[in-house]
Structure formats: structure tokens, C-alpha cells
Structure 1
Amino acid sequence: MSPLAPTTVDALLVGAVGLLPDGRTASAIGKSPVAHALWLSPTGLQGDAQADLRIHGGPEKAVHHYPHEHYAAWGAWSRRTDLLAHAGAFGENLSTQGWDESTVCVGDVVRLGEALVQVSQGRQPCWKLDARFGEPGMARQMQASGRTGWYYRTLEPGWVRAGAAMTLVDRPHPAWPLARLIALLFARDVQHAPEWAQAAELASLAERWRLTFRRRVESREVEDWGPRLGRPEAGDEGA
């Protein structure tokens, strides 16, 4: 793949835990832009929160990046033009233009302002996206489209702000653009087992994804996506 041209953080966003429109589901998917610099630690940006730390956040999901170019396609699919009018609709911490899943590779090391980060995994959308937008099936559509965005782990903490440059420093897995990896994760046919085995050996890939691929190779089965994509009964969702 050709090297990534530098890009710029158009919006830096964080959010607190609140209730989704259903009035009962806690989530921090709603993010708002900040103009001042924020400290990026190994577990995320200063002032950012996650409702369910069993699933969201942590060292392998310190920062979520979502390409703003995807908003046009979502505008043709969703009725929620109010949410899509500005960055932050998908819970992203970074909004940019010029980078997407086809040009970014797993393991890419990126200078982000004063911090150094590494692409760790793509996003596995869940039913809370449906609840935020009031659009049943939106998480499934994100999964099917591959427009998931991705996460970084923090290699070197530092200050980050809107307007900061993002520059590729190293690319250890040039044969593994996120688009390939995401399509492979959401493939159900066991004919992909040889590639699953290859993905399981990617040193820079988040351990949860590597474990998922290893389990598929061993079991010759794909895990049940129902709990992630389908809304649980009242009282069953994580806090």
C-alpha cells in the first residue's frame, strides 16, 4: 500500500455517560467537540467516559477514530439529519478527512499531536447505535458496510487538540488494511479459515480479535452476533 499522507484532527471529541433516547440505557456514545488540548493517557482522553467498561474503553480502545467522509453515506441511509450535522454522531473521539478503512492498516503507528498511538482494531458495532439513532438495524448496516472506524492504543501519552497533525510513523503490517481485517471478522464462511489463522498471528492486533480468530479456526464455527447486534430485554444490558 502507498504511505498515508498526513491529515489533521478536524474535531477532538469526548463525552460523559448519559441515557439514550429510550430513557433506560446508559451510554457515552454522544461526544462533543472541545477546543482546548486534552491529555491522552493509556486508557483514553481526559474527560472521556464509557458506560460499560467490560466492553468499551481500556488500553486497546483508548481512542476511537471515525472518518467524516462516511457521514454522506449515512445521510442517505438515516433520517437523523440532526445527529449527522456534525462530528460525534458515532461516538468518535477523532474526526478527520483523508484516512479511511481502506488506507489505514492494523498496527499503523501514528504521531497524534504530542502523543504516539497505534491502530489496534476495528469497531464491532452494537445495538446501542440503533438506540441512539432510533434506527433499527443501523449496527448491522455499519457492520455490512465496513464503515466502522477504528481504535488506537496509546504508545506514548501526550497532549492532543483539534488542529493537531496526524502522521504515519511506522507500518508493520502493510498487507493488512483495516478493510481487509474488518471484512474477515464479519465473514461467516469457514472457507476463510486460512486467513483467520493469519490474522490470529498479527502481533499488533488487539488480543480479543486474535482470540476470536483462533477460536474460529479451532471450532470451524463463527460466534453468535445476536447479543451484540440485538437489543437485550430490559434489565439485561450492561451499565
Structure 2
Amino acid sequence: MKLLSISSGKVMPLFGNHHPDYKSVPSGIRKTSISNLENATKIQIGNLGIQGDEQADLSVHGGLEKAIYVYPAEHYAFWNELLTRETKKPIALQYGSLGENFTIEGLLETEVFVGDKLVIGELQFAVTKLREPCFKFNAALGYKGAAKAMVQSGYSGWYLRVLKTGMVSAGEKIQLIPGPRDTSIAQQNRNLLAKRNQKDLWD
């Protein structure tokens, strides 16, 4: 298990026709890798996440309980294939393109439970919940079905609370310390899928 990339972004206008009421909304979903295997810069992580990273809507992203968004690199092939097919042009997403702060390998939603701890270098984190995509995710990827595809696939990623702050760089090994193991991120996603299907709630 390894941290492949650390990504950060500023709030900026996000344009698209992916919501009936907004042509442009402020969003911090567009992230750029600032530490990766080619350039393993040490990055400061505080209680609210990566220093300098921004979120536009703190009711759904950011804060202590959603300080870091983690996404498995293993799912990138799924998104590249889906978007290439749907947009009719070759897509090769860069790490950070799904809005994540940490792109990792070797750990998936089925293996991660709420309350588990992740130790990365000298830092410690607690797994809090899955990521629930919205219309901004559709706009960022340029595909109206992106949020629906994320929930249906179960490729949601998850949020972390920061337990121990400090500096970390890409390339660090990840250690998982199991918590109560009552609810996995995959189970949270199945619950969300059932709820959205019942309400037909696709933003």
C-alpha cells in the first residue's frame, strides 16, 4: 500500500450544463498533483488537510471530518475507459482529476471500514465516510452520468480525519490499523445506491 500522489487546488469557477439552475459554480474539485513519485516534495498536512488546498462548499467537503479525500489509483482505468467511450475522444486523467487529495494504491473500498486508521509516514488519519458525488463531479469530468457511474460502480473513495499532523510526501508506505470494522466504505456505497434508486436522486 503506497501514497502515489498528493493533490491540491484552489476554488475557481466550474462551468458546465450539468445542473438546471447553474451555468457556473465555485468549486475546488480541480486538483493538481503537488507531490508524486517523480517529484516527491514534502507537503504540510494540518487538521483541515493540505496546506493551501481549498473547498467551496464546506457543508459537503472539507472540515475536520473530511479533511483529506482519498482515491484508489486502481479505478483510473475505469474512468478513462468510460469517459473515452462517452465523450468519443481519448481520455487519460491525471492523478487529482477526480478531486482527490491522496491518490493511493493497494487499498480499495471493500477493504476499508469507518473507524480504521491509516498511518502514512509519521502522520495518522481516521477513515470517516465515503465520498458522495454531485453535479460538480459531472461538470469536472465533462460527462452528465459521472456521479451516477461513481455510485453504481462503488468506486467512491473515502474521507479522512487528520489525527496527527506533519509533513508527508508521495512514495510513503501506508499502514492500515483496523477499527471496529462494522461498516465498510463499500457497504456505505451500497446503502447510498439503494437510497438514490428509491428517490431517483441523481443530481
Per the normalisation by structure 1, the TM-score is 0.72
How far off its partner does 1:115 sit? 1.2
- The change in CA–CA distance for 1:83 and 1:151 in structure 2 (over 3 A counts) is farther
Alignment of 1:169-188 (within 5 A): 170-188=177-195
Q: Given that residues 114 and 182 in structure 2 are in contact (C-alpha distance below 8 angstroms), is that contact kept between their aligned partners in structure 1?
A: no
Equivalent position of 2:146 in the other structure: 138
Q: Does 1:158 align with 2:166?
A: yes
Distance 1:84 1:177 in 2: 29
Query: Is the partner of 1:131 in helix, strand or coil?
Result: helix
* C-alpha contact 1:113 1:158 (8 A) present in aligned 2: no
- The aligned residue for residue 19 of structure 2 is none
Are the counterparts in 2 of residues 105 and 176 from structure 1 also a CA contact under 8 Å? Answer: yes
Q: Distance in 1 between matches of 2:108 and 2:170?
A: 19
Aligned counterparts of 2:178 and 2:63: Cα–Cα separation in 1: 23
CA distance in 1 between counterparts of 2:136 and 2:192 reads: 20
**Does 2:100 correspond to 1:92?**
yes
Structure 1 CA distance for aligned equivalents of residues 147 and 48 of structure 2: 25
Larger radius of gyration: 1
Name the residue aligned to 2:32.
32
Residue 86 (structure 1) shift: 1.5
| Pairwise CA distance, 1:39 | 1.7
Structure 1: stretches of 5+ with no match in the other structure: 1-6, 190-221, 231-239
Which AA in structure 2 matches 1:55? V
CA distance in 1, matches of 2:180, 2:92: 33
Q: SS of the residue aligned with 2:128?
A: strand
Question: Could you list the per-position Cα deviations for residues 214-236 of structure 1 after superposition, in whole angstroms to 9, with x for gaps in the alignment?
Answer: xxxxxxxx7x574xx42xxxxxx
Matched residue, 2:136: 128
- Is the 1:83–1:89 contact (alpha carbons within 8 Å) kept by the matching residues of 2? no
Q: Does 1:66 align with 2:77?
A: no
Deviation string 1:48-106 (CA, Å, 9 cap, x unpaired) is 10011122100110100000110111122113677643211110011111111011111
Identity level (%): 34
Aligned to 1:78: 83
Letter in 2 for 1:12: I
SS of corresponding position for 1:182: helix
* 1:123–1:149 CA contact under 8 A, matched in 2: yes
Shift of 1:188: 3.3
The structure with the greater share of residues assigned to strand is: 2
User: Which letter does structure 1 place at the counterpart of 2:51?
Assistant: Q
Q: SS of the counterpart of 1:129? A: helix
Structure 2 counterpart of 1:207: none
Structure 2 unmatched ranges of 5 or more:
17-22, 36-40
TM-score, scaled relative to structure 2: 0.84
Q: Number of residue pairs matched? A: 188
CA contact (8 A) 1:107 1:119 kept: yes
Q: Classify 1:118/1:225 alpha carbon distance in 2 versus 1 (closer, same or farther; 3 Å).
A: farther
* Structure 1 vs Structure 2 CA RMSD: 2.1
Deviates more, 1:52-61 or 1:83-92: 83-92
Paired letter, 2:193 = F
Which protein, 1 or 2, shows the higher relative CO under an 8 Å CA cutoff with sep ≥ 6? 2
